[in-house]
Chains A and B, each alone.
Chain A
Amino acid sequence: MKLSIAARLAASYGLLVMGTVAGVAGVFYGATIGLLEQSIDREIETISRRLVDQYQVAAPGSLPDALARELTDGAYSDEEILMLIAADGRVLSGNLLVWPLLDAPAGELQSTWLKRRGQRTPVRFLLRDLGDGNRLLVGRDMREQQAMRELVLRALVVGALVALGLAMGGTVYFRRQLESPIGAIRRATNEIESGDLGRRMPPLGDDEFGRLATDINRMLDRIEQLMDGVRHVSNSIAHDLRTPLTRIRSRLELALGEDGGAEEARGAMADAIAGIDDLIVLFNRLLQIAETESGVNARNFTPIDVNRIAEDMVELYDASAEEQGVALNLTTRQGQPTLGDHNLIASALASLIDNAMKYAGSGAQVEVAAHACRDTVSLSVKDDGPGIPPESLPLVTQRFYRVDPSRSLPGNGLGLSIVEAIATMHGGRLELRNLYPGFEAEIILPRRGLPVPCEP
């Protein structure tokens, strides 16, 4: 049988409490009753040694007097038992009339029960051989100690019962404490599972469960965001792929209906293929955004060198810049390690360079730079073109958004969306700013290694 966590925790808690009580009781018992009994044992030994000495050193005849003195000195006189016993078992002197345990070994402390003053009495005693056949018995009536021992034991048993009760109460409390937040989390997950995707974990305070609920909520937010992304992509596909598809379809249908001959048909086919190729590009880019935004590629991150990427991309675009009459310049700074996907970062930078050359136009100055500042590295592309109308600035990274005057230029309105998705996926961001005159787009990525001072 599998026990619930609550039951297991509660059981261990109960065992722990019982163990603690047993430990404390043991120590307490040893420190009170145990010590008392030890001191009585010592006393018996001391008295017996003294009397034996007296018997052997002074005079055997003086011992009965010594016994009598001992029994009347007022110190424990009531509880003391002293006897001088002859070899044949006769009691020569002492405060007991008979000694029933003549066979008890001499020289060892022992316990027994005797009838004394009409009561069964626990007795601790030490029997000693006096060398001439006589024996000396020193004992102590332990009735009081026995009573105290019983008292302490009873108190301990009561204490243990109270502890057991508390442990059981604690167990119930534990279960409640564990089951109420877990129940709340389970109820919420069940509701989410049955379709209420906007549902979140209830606030559970600032304990472990509260933090777990917060984590689950964050995860749910992320999932919802991704699902929104997917929905957005499908909406985009619906809106922006239908138009070119309709165009291709009409073109082919027209060619089919007309009697234009082979030449006309071939032209329609070539147009259709070109249109489909454009669609494939658009489709790939949409998929790329979705893929990038979901962050699934992050596991392919390797150390990359943004300087090299900047150099490569500038070399890729230098001929085009030359042809378009754009001055393309590069500034790099050494030692800018970061983690990422080389191809994605390169494609993002290529896209920014492409934009700058396209929108700033012939005769423009385009500056590509790799910077490092504190714990970030950045790749920036600056131009001296007209910039973006301020009201469009927050919109240009949306899919398919195109600034009005640029609609006549080739493009699909996805470039900056992809660049932003790539930057975000790398734990960075894309910053766009008008420079009046000019425009700057900057990909800012987290830097590995020690922070470096910023450049002017």
Chain B
Amino acid sequence: MKCLVIEDDPITADYILKGLREAGHLPFLCRSGLDGLHHAVNEEWDIVILDRLLPGGVEGLSIVRRLRELEKATPVLVLSALDAIDERVLGLRSGADDYLPKPFAFQELLARVEVLVRRATARGAPPQQYLQVADLVLDLRSRRVRRGETPIPLLPREFRLLEYLMRNSGELITRTMLLEAVWDCHFDPQTNVINVQVSRLRSKIDKDFNPALIHTIRGAGYRFGPEA
């Protein structure tokens, strides 16, 4: 997919561009805010990855605001060294879809980018009643889950966790993304609570079945799907 990267620091920019290319995407780099705004507004992108403090005193968020004023729904992920809570709030209020503080791990960035693009693509689609991955079926209306013919009882929060994993099946999902999407926690609880939550879910949906659907990606997070 086409990614517009607006970032002035050459090392960070190389790091992002190289990673995106390796993941099979087509990144394009702008080093200044003005240039970035020009490209963001005049071309079609699958996603815009934006630094906040750009040379020439351009605030990255002004690019998001301009995009939204023009009613462009291009997903925007803001990268920033400004990590205070109110800075994040400001970022999201300006119309950004996600906010990732620096320093970050590339896998975290990639996972978020892919989820954002997928969500944007799915936006126009009609609401589904069922989500299905392999023989696991999740009924969004009756809130029931079954694998093959076997019903699997889940706690409400486990249901939300599974729904999120299934909606993003095939993508890398990081622990932070799960914390934010399923528990609405925008902080790092320091311990491995998410690992334990995922293992409990795994013991319910994967233990007695084949193939295994929840795969742990070491040092990064999880991937959901029949293939590892």
Contact = CB atoms under 8 A, between A and B. Distances in A.
A320 B192 CA distance: 8
Interface in B156-205: 157, 183-193, 196-197, 199-200
B interface, size bucket: 20 to 34
Nearest to A342: B184
B43 to A, nearest CB: 35
Interface stretch (A172-180, A344-352, A359-367): A344-352
B193 A315 contact: no
A105 B196 CA distance: 119
Contacts of A317: 193
Contacts of A319: 193, 196-197, 199-200
A161 interface: no
A264 interface: no
B84 A291 contact: yes
B89 interface: yes
A322 interface: yes
B59 interface: no
A341 B155 CA distance: 27
A350 B189 contact: yes
Contacts of B24: none
Interface string A313-326: 00111011011000
Contacts of B84: 287, 291, 296-297
A320 B196 contact: yes
Contacts of A50: none
Contact of A316 (B86, B183, B188, B199): B183
Interface in B119-157: 155, 157
A27 to B, nearest CB: 64
A322 B83 contact: no
Interface string B64-95: 00000000000000000001111001000000
B103 interface: yes
A284 interface: yes
Contact of B103 (A280, A343, A346): A280
B61 to A, nearest CB: 17
A354 B83 CA distance: 24
A281 interface: yes
A133 B144 CA distance: 128
Interface string A264-290: 000000000000000011001001000
Interface string A291-305: 100001101100000
Nearest to A411: B190
Contacts of B187: 343-344, 346-347, 350
B6 to A, nearest CB: 24
A297 B85 contact: yes
Contacts of B188: 281, 284
A341 B199 contact: no
B85 A343 contact: yes
A346 B185 contact: yes
Contacts of A280: 103
A22 to B, nearest CB: 60
A350 B189 CA distance: 7
A320 B193 contact: yes
A331 B105 CA distance: 39
A431 interface: no
A299 B87 CA distance: 12
A29 to B, nearest CB: 70
A378 B192 CA distance: 26
A347 B183 contact: no
Given A280-B103, A343-B186, A346-B185, A320 B85 contact: no
A422 to B, nearest CB: 11
A221 interface: no
Given A287-B83, A296-B86, A300-B89, A316 B192 contact: no
Nearest to A274: B219
Contacts of A53: none
A355 to B, nearest CB: 10
A122 B184 CA distance: 101
A354 B86 contact: no
A224 interface: no
A312 interface: yes
Interface of A: 280-281, 284, 287, 291, 296-297, 299-300, 312, 315-317, 319-320, 322-323, 341, 343-344, 346-347, 350-351, 354, 415
Given A299-B86, A316-B197, A320-B191, 9 more contacts: A287-B84, A316-B183, A319-B193, A323-B200, A341-B85, A343-B85, A343-B187, A350-B185, A415-B190
- A-B CB proximity, top 10 nearest: A347-B187, A319-B196, A319-B200, A320-B196, A319-B197, A350-B189, A343-B186, A315-B157, A320-B193, A316-B183
Interface of B: 83-86, 89, 103, 155, 157, 183-193, 196-197, 199-200
